Amino acid sequence: MVEFAEAKRIARNIVKGVCPEGYGSLCEAFKRLRGQFPSKSESWFFRAIVRSLVSVRKVGDRHWVVAGIREFGDNHPLYNVWLSESGKYMCDCYYRQWGYKRKAEICTHIAAVLLVKRQRWLSEF
């Protein structure tokens, strides 16, 4: 895990296309995520990358906990992300923070989990 200010510096570079030394697998994971969600903003990817560096913890086979970051608008200390049997990611911020109307959106808690998972796969090579 990386310190918050350092994570922000790393994330700022990655979204600008500058890959810091030692973060090759995260940069690859970011490129894939951006390819998957081309309409998302630079700040959305920035938040996802910072979260992936400081706050994602696997707590079960299909369950992750992502620490809330006040600066990113989180009002809770922890968020739960689940992967359903059908392969759909769910986050409890959908219910607690935004209401049901945001249910179809992918949040940066889920995006952070995707970044961590993809780095693990990539680093296995």
Q: Is 91 in the site for Zn ion (CB under 5 A)?
A: yes
- Of positions 8, 47, 51, 109, contacts Zn ion by CB under 5 A: 109
Q: Is 114 in the site for Zn ion (CB under 5 A)?
A: no
- Specify whether the CB–CB gap between 14 and 26 falls below 8 A: yes
Write the burial class of residue 83 (CB in 10 Å: 0-12 exposed, 13-18 middle, 19+ buried).
Answer: middle
Our CB check for Zn ion shows the closer of 27 and 49 to be: 49
Our CB check for Zn ion shows the closer of 53 and 91 to be: 91
Q: How far is the CB of 83 from Zn ion (least distance, A)?
A: 13
Q: Is 93 in the site for Zn ion (CB under 5 A)?
A: yes
User: Of the candidates 113, 119, 29, 98, which has an alpha carbon nearest to the alpha carbon of residue 66?
Assistant: 113
Q: Which are the contacts of 32, defined by CB distance < 8 A and separation ≥ 6?
A: 118
Q: Is 116 in the site for Zn ion (CB under 5 A)?
A: no
Our CB check for Zn ion shows the closer of 21 and 104 to be: 104
Q: How far is the CB of 22 from Zn ion (least distance, A)?
A: 28
- Specify whether the CB–CB gap between 89 and 70 falls below 8 A: no
Footprint on this chain of Zn ion (rule: CB under 5 A):
91, 93, 107, 109
